[in-house]
Chains A and B, each alone.
Chain A
Amino acid sequence: MNNPPDISPVEHETEEYAHEVRRHVRGYLMVGATLLAFTAITVALSYVNFGTQKANVAVALLVATFKAGLVAAIFMHLSAEKRLIYRILIFTGFFVFGLFWLTYLAWYDPIHR
């Protein structure tokens, strides 16, 4: 195998990157605060009666999905990642969707419902 040895990136590139990171730290703190705020919102909304239990579940999951999206996009750097990672995640999404689809098929009974 002709793997190149591990080396530190070029000095000035590291510097540039560190500068970029410093800029991002503020963003991380903002996202953290937003997540905390939305946690409070989730709790508050759960005591609001949206008519049916299903509607309440939908609202709570919507907020949760938004929060999860923030964590994935910002903390996990998915907003700007290499193509390979997205490819892995497309497969994951496909299979997890399939899994939930199977669950739905197992539950769905066209005769009795």
Chain B
Amino acid sequence: MEIPYTVSARRDTGLWNAKVGIWLFLASEVMLFGGLFSAYIFLRLDAAPGDWPHGLLNVPVGTMNTAILIASSVTVVLAWAALKMRDLTKYRIYMAITILCGVTFLVVKLAYEWPQKFDHFGAFIKEGALEKYEPYLGNKHLLEEGLPPRKEITGHLHNKEALKDPNVKEYEIALDPVYADPTNRKMDRPHFWPMPATDKIATIEKSDVKYATMFLPKHSSYFASYFTITGLHGAHVLGGVLVFCYMMLPASTRIYRHNPEHLANRVEVAGLFWHFVDLVWIFVFPLFYLL
């Protein structure tokens, strides 16, 4: 059975069906991501001064991933244009580059960025003990500068057993540079190039800690929304990659031989989805990495 309106336009809509379908789907996607973004805005607006972290993500890597996604958006539209010009070889090349970009994006995200966060540690200090850890926090300096206070000490946790063992009474942290030199004005704002943890070790007593965890979703509203939104976005990238892979299979070549416009339209629809995923990332990147 032939599915109607895969190439020719319906008279009432003026469009082939999949085009209407994908836009309706994208409309629902706008609401899905819109809900999460409004949750982000809500959490952020209500965060007390100093409670919303800055500079915890790797900006150069995020920038690279943004560039990769933009490049793949260009190649997918070039793949579509190649089909329109009936050049199957070029189509395959551009499609392969698109898939490669998508996979690279996911690998960077899942094998590098996320695990790096899972290996980072933060301890929120109790209000009453902030003074005690002033040499690491530098809040008097921040007050003078008119900047929000620091309430958390972060770095690389040396004694991981402290997370589970109640008999271990303190956390030993190889400090992040900010806490090793908190009154240095250069540390007041995040840097572009991430700086590794220093070899300066701070010992923080558990009784002074309100809450301590690795950089997991439970760490803060910031990381909860970061992992939720980038996770959902990553799932979309994976979905796009799978669809593009299908479009490289012999089944798709057969469609091309039968009617090249049919495959071109499929690629256009998948491309629309891919551009949407790119569009979401254009907002995710500044909101989580830069601001």
Q: What residues make up the interface of A, taking CB atoms closer than 8 Å to B? A: 1, 3-9, 14, 17-18, 21-22, 24-25, 28-29, 31-32, 35-36, 39-40, 42-43, 46-47, 49, 53, 56-57, 60-61, 63-64, 67-68, 71-72, 75-76, 82-85, 88-89, 91-92, 95-96, 99-100, 102-103, 106-107
B13–A46 contact, CB under 8 A? no
Cβ–Cβ < 8 Å partners of A31 in chain B: 74
B59–A21 contact, CB under 8 A? no
Q: How far is the CA of A28 from the CA of B75 in the complex (A)?
A: 9
A39–B38 contact, CB under 8 A? no
Q: Nearest chain A CB to B195's CB is how many angstroms away?
A: 15
Q: Nearest chain A CB to B234's CB is how many angstroms away?
A: 19
Q: Is B86 an interface residue (CB 8 A)?
A: yes
Q: Is B235 an interface residue (CB 8 A)?
A: no
Q: Given A29-B74, A32-B70, A42-B285, verify A4-B4 contact (CB < 8 Å).
A: yes
Q: How far is the CA of A107 from the CA of B42 in the complex (A)?
A: 7
A18–B38 contact, CB under 8 A? no
Cβ–Cβ < 8 Å partners of B46 in chain A: 107
A100–B286 contact, CB under 8 A? no
B7–A92 contact, CB under 8 A? no
Name the one of B38, B41, B42, B73 contacting A75, with C-beta atoms under 8 angstroms. Answer: B73
Q: How far is the CA of A31 from the CA of B279 in the complex (A)?
A: 14
A107–B278 contact, CB under 8 A? no
Q: Is B14 an interface residue (CB 8 A)?
A: yes
Q: What residues make up the interface of B, taking CB atoms closer than 8 Å to A? A: 2-8, 13-15, 19-20, 23-24, 27, 30-31, 34-35, 38-39, 41-42, 45-46, 59, 63, 66-67, 70-71, 73-74, 77-78, 81, 84-86, 189, 192, 259-262, 271-272, 275-276, 278-279, 282-283, 285-287, 290-291
Q: Nearest chain A CB to B91's CB is how many angstroms away?
A: 12
A88–B59 contact, CB under 8 A? no
Q: How far is the CA of A49 from the CA of B23 in the complex (A)?
A: 39
Q: Given A4-B8, A6-B6, A32-B70, verify A42-B31 contact (CB < 8 Å).
A: no
A-B contact pairs, 14 of them (CB 8 A): A6-B259, A28-B81, A32-B71, A39-B66, A46-B290, A47-B189, A67-B282, A75-B74, A88-B24, A89-B27, A96-B30, A96-B34, A100-B38, A107-B42
Cβ–Cβ < 8 Å partners of A82 in chain B: 13-15
